[in-house]
A and B are shown apart, each in its own frame.
Chain A
Amino acid sequence: MAAPMTDAELKVLMKQLSRIAGLDLSDERVDRDLATYKGHLAAIDRIKAVDVPIEAEPFVPSKR
């Protein structure tokens, strides 16, 4: 299992991802957004801890 990323590593990642996403965040914006982004990553880790079978599909059953 990969070691947790440091804040410095996350900031580099955020800068690079933001360029791909067309946002091109400044260092100041990355500093402001870091805590929120870490919160999202923590939520994603908790979600990933839920076991879902390979057959699972990301479509919510809709009884329209």
Chain B
Amino acid sequence: MDVSRRDFLTGSLAIPAARPCRIAALRGCATPSDAVQDFSPAKSAADLPYLSMIEAAALIKARRLSPVELTQALLDRIDRLDGNVGAFITVTREEALRSAREAEREIAAGRYRGPLHGIPFGVKDTHYTKGIRTTANTPVLADFVPGFDATVVARLTRAGAVLVGKTNLPEFSFGSAGGGGAFPDAHNPWNLARTPGGSSSGSAAALAAGLLIVATGGDTSGSIRNPATFCGVVGMKPTYGRVSRHGIVVISWSLDHVGPMTRTVADNATLLNVIAGSDPADDTSSDRPVPDYTRALRRGVRGLRVGIPKPPQFDGYHRDVMRAFEESLAVFRRLGAVVREVDLPPTSDVIDDVQQIVRIAEAASYHEPFLATKADRYATTTTVRRDLESGSLITAVQYLRAQKVRARFVKDLADVFRSLDVFLTPGMPAPAGEPAEVKQPFRRMFNVCGFPALVLPNGFSTTPAGLPIGLQIAAKPFDEETIYAAAQAFESATDWHTRRPSL
């Protein structure tokens, strides 16, 4: 028998069908949790889409908010806004409401699974979802319906999260949004005429637009960090092997990473807790135990050894990006961190070339069956087929030469990081859609070495006005905890993450 909303909800947050949610009614209710006490009484149903996962989880656990109400609020907002934002390729409306009702039943019966229970999420449309099309935004996979979930998807649904949809990306995750594909492009919620970045375009855009509570993305050349920066959200590319790649459409086996995308650092750490860990279906996944990343959030940064690149590494970077970066360094110094400039290894000068050759040779190998039988089905509006055909002509000796230099770079960078706790750079050299001719964007190098790197918002541009700017925090392999400690300290000292686009 379905649980009625009235049966589910305790306290004074009962929500008759005809009336909007009145979170103002929380004040004066019996025994709110800490998170609920901090919750502003002025919020209404209109604010539900921008709840953090931690806020939503506290309300759901306390049965002050129904997962069905939250999911319906997001679906209504998607109906209203996604025609312009283009964050989704597939919205799993019926499945989402069914899962939300099931979550409501379980929680009402006392079977609360944890902070993801009843939380609406989205995944990049490269993540296999059993029985739900997975297109990678390409005509090549237009009819593909997987028979199993990606490990990341399975872990999220096992945690009780509610799948709302598959998010947009450029064809086969090649490049940034605006690159074309089988479906229309996604747009930046901060300025719909601008790119949201890519290739995890839709996940970032959906978070910024309040269409999802949390999301996942994939990062081979910066594809979590680029759109997270452009859309003003938090994106973590974990250490290679920290999160299983099983059941995800491949770009490049040795460069692909999967990671959480959220609006706050605490949400990001909580999501990584759920999706990280060894997977027998992915031989490259790490057997290292998964710590509780949220414990690091309280660590602070006093005495933290922060490295930044020496000049002229930032030549060509946008003025607003550098202003935000310098202000961010001042925040870290104020909080007690020790900042110093470091030299990068000489091999970093060719690391983008190394990434290019390794990526395209591996991608060409993955696509070999598609190129043999479906070459004419690649979108004519993208460069994917051209990239893959030319990548198919790279010889094994050329690929292995790149891998030798890669191995040397990883060793050299590890030596640099030995005397550092974190390494800071801007998230991107310029705001969304602005040109930047730079020597080193500090993006692909972290795919090449596999070290973890997170971006979070640290400002907005003035010329042009109103575009998000981001800060990148990188660390040693498997030290996501120090990244989260640094990111949380910065986020707590600033308010960039609280800004919302006007939609």
Contact = CB atoms under 8 A, between A and B. Distances in A.
A17 interface: yes
A17 B386 contact: no
Interface of A: 14, 17-18, 21-23, 25, 29, 32-33, 36-37, 39-40, 43-44, 46-50, 52, 56-64
A29 B241 contact: no
A47 B386 contact: no
Contact of B407 (A32, A36, A47, A59): A59
Contacts of A48: 401
Contacts, number: 99
A18 B392 contact: yes
29 contacts: A17-B393, A21-B393, A22-B368, A23-B389, A29-B389, A33-B386, A33-B389, A36-B387, A36-B390, A37-B390, A39-B356, A39-B390, A40-B356, A40-B357, A40-B390, A44-B357, A44-B394, A46-B350, A47-B350, A47-B357, A50-B347, A52-B404, A58-B400, A58-B404, A59-B403, A60-B406, A61-B414, A64-B285, A64-B288
Interface in B312-369: 346-347, 350, 353-354, 356-357, 360, 368
A22 to B, nearest CB: 6
A48 B347 CA distance: 11
B401 A32 contact: no
Given A47-B357, A50-B405, A61-B411, A40 B391 contact: yes
Contacts of A29: 389
Contacts of A47: 350, 353-354, 357, 401-402, 405
A3 to B, nearest CB: 19
Interface residues of B, number: 45
A58 B357 CA distance: 13
B11 to A, nearest CB: 47
B392 A21 contact: yes
B392 A23 contact: yes
B283 to A, nearest CB: 10
B407 A60 contact: yes
B352 to A, nearest CB: 8
Contacts of A23: 371-372, 375, 389, 392
Contact of A60 (B372, B383, B394, B450): B450
Contact of B287 (A43, A52, A64): A64
Contacts of B401: 44, 47-48, 52, 58
